[in-house]
Amino acid sequence: MHFRPLLLVFLLFFSIQCQNKTGIEHASNSAFLELNLEESTIDRLHQDYLAGEYTVTQVVQAYIGRIQAIDRDPKGPSLNSVITINPEALAIAANLDAILDKAGIESLSPLFGVPVLVKDNIDTREGMPSTAGARAMAESRPYRDAFIVQQLRDAGAVILGKTNLSEWANFHSSFSSSGWSGLGGQTKNPYDQTRSPCGSSSGSGVAASANLAMFTIGTETNGSITCPANANGLVGLKPTVGLLSRSGIIPISFTQDTPGPMTRTVRDAAIALTAMVGVDSADQKTLASSEYLGTDYLAHLDPNFLEGARIGVYNGPRGRHFRVDTLFNERLRELENAGVTLIELDQISTENPGGNSYQVMLYEFKDGLNSYFRSLGDSAPVKSLEDLINKTLNDPIEMRYFDHNLLMSAQAKGSLAEPAYEQEVNELFRKTRTEGIDRVMNLHELNAIISITGGPAWKIDLVNGDNFGLSSSSPAARSGYPNITVPMGTIEGLPVGISFFGRAWDEAKLLGYAYSFEQITQARTAPLSE
């Protein structure tokens, strides 16, 4: 009995290693450091390509070597954030080098030759599985890219691989550990490997922070981009629902789901967002974004953009961690010194929308997941939510820590044709939009709202589960409105962030405020230097 935990850990490790075989001869981290890529930016990479400092192949090789050294080597930090490396990454890089030789970088997209990692609930071709971290999905291989992945490819980005996540984007059990999945194991925070990376885009957050890619893509239903960005010292952008397509992404909620970039700088987030925007006939919510096509998300990146702004200060998370409060108050004084008028807000919604949001997610998870399984065709390893439940409950590794009760709760729901579902959606939008963010911003004539994103990362605990201390993600998440978090400092070496959120389609303005804050504070510190 004493050897069983060790045996299970070994089996998990062995299965992951088998899954991650790429046929690539991996370099050490030395190539990454020699190319001076640590904390590099998209602009700098572009300039270095232009100057002939290195090839795309050299850059991709260097990032793969760093993944091996930092993420997987038992002698290193062993962050366990990357679940799969793209077996075609070097071939793609070679093709881009051939294009570069003919065209010259100055005529190409800003994302040309930029290595990107995407969360493993986002479909990619080239034989990489899309698993949501579930062992039952280990051999699920979609035949085409998600819409946003194709957008990134069209812009010249290199899809380097897939990142680990909280299984089923953390909608599998009401008791869970952020960053754990049955297939990928536990992802660890690069600032302190004993602490949580937060979820569910945990692997994407860790990988971006530890410089395992130029940037990463996460997804959020409620807090799954902003929380790991907070815990890993990143900029995390959750766009308005509908600005970025969700087709080809394993769903939770059609009402709240959205992908978004996770980066080390606000400018990189703006560049990444620009590349992914597009109307997709397979995702009807993107039809509402058509008037925002061509938006220049770099236009407001001015260090003085905050001057003269009226910003609401949402106090919901305050009073729960005195050191976070102290740091937040210091940043508020800096904002006032920059010419910002601050208006205190004790609440945003007049009524609690939490119950409505939960019911909507249960309905939509069942419907969306069944639709996704059908889209995979006859070869899909899982045919339905009911099939998934049966496979999960009979898997001792999946059942070792968590009961996956949310899968059963979703299965018990009816169809989206039920009046009860429509009523929950209407009530959710009334409470979060009409009587929520729209109301409070109109009442106080606000340009944006700010709040503490979250607290310092807690200890990983597979016995007692997550220990969330505070969060401000819900108002923007439940309304489907945009939210961007930016590092505001550290507490005992652990990052914490500040969030800027506002009305639907306010991304360009929020990026401007976030950029101005970033330039004033310069608060990000890198977690790893070896």
- DSSP annotation of 434 reads I
Query: How confident is residue 529, by pLDDT bands cut at 50, 70 and 90?
Result: low
pLDDT > 70: what percent of the chain? 94
Higher pLDDT among residues 26 and 390, named by residue: 390
Q: Which member of 40, 177, 181, 224 is catalytic?
A: 224
What pTM value is reported for the model? 0.94
Res 10 pLDDT > 60 = no
Mean pLDDT of 141-169: 97
Contacts of 449 (CB under 8 A, 6+ apart): 311, 312, 313, 314, 345, 348, 437, 440, 441, 475, 500, 501, 502
- Rounded to whole angstroms, how far apart are CA atoms 122 and 148? 9
Helix (H) / strand (E) containing 118 = strand 115-119
Mean pLDDT of 354-380: 97
Res 335 pLDDT > 70 = yes
Q: Does the active-site annotation cover 102?
A: no
pLDDT digits (tens, 9 = 90+) for 433-491: 999 999 999 999 999 999 999 999 999 999 999 998 899 999 999 999 999 999 999 99
Mean pLDDT of 365-371: 98
Helices within 412-506 (DSSP H only): 419-429, 438-444, 474-479
Q: Which member of 130, 166, 196, 200 is catalytic?
A: 200
Angle at 277 between CA 134 and CA 82, to 5 degrees: 30
Res 515 pLDDT > 60 = yes
Q: Does the active-site annotation cover 224?
A: yes
Query: How confident is residue 104, by pLDDT bands cut at 50, 70 and 90?
Result: confident
Q: Which residue has the tokens 């070679």?
A: 94
Mean pLDDT of 256-276: 98
Res 124 pLDDT > 50 = yes
Q: Which CATH class is domain 4-521?
A: alpha beta
Question: In one letter, which amino acid is 204?
Answer: S
Res 167 pLDDT > 80 = yes
- What is residue 5's three-state secondary structure? helix
DSSP 230-270: HHTT-EEEEPPBTTB--TTB--S-TTT-EEEEEESSHHHHH
Q: Which of 205, 261, 287, 245 is nearest to 484 (CA)?
A: 261
pLDDT digits (tens, 9 = 90+) for 179-224: 999 999 999 999 999 999 999 999 999 999 999 999 999 999 999 9
Q: Does the active-site annotation cover 238?
A: no
Mean pLDDT of 130-159: 97
Q: What is the pLDDT of residue 23?
A: 34
Q: Which residue has the tokens 């479909």?
A: 123
Res 39 pLDDT > 80 = yes
Q: Which member of 40, 81, 119, 188 is catalytic?
A: 119
Report domain extents, the chain: 4-521
Mean pLDDT of 290-312: 96
Mean pLDDT of 62-81: 96
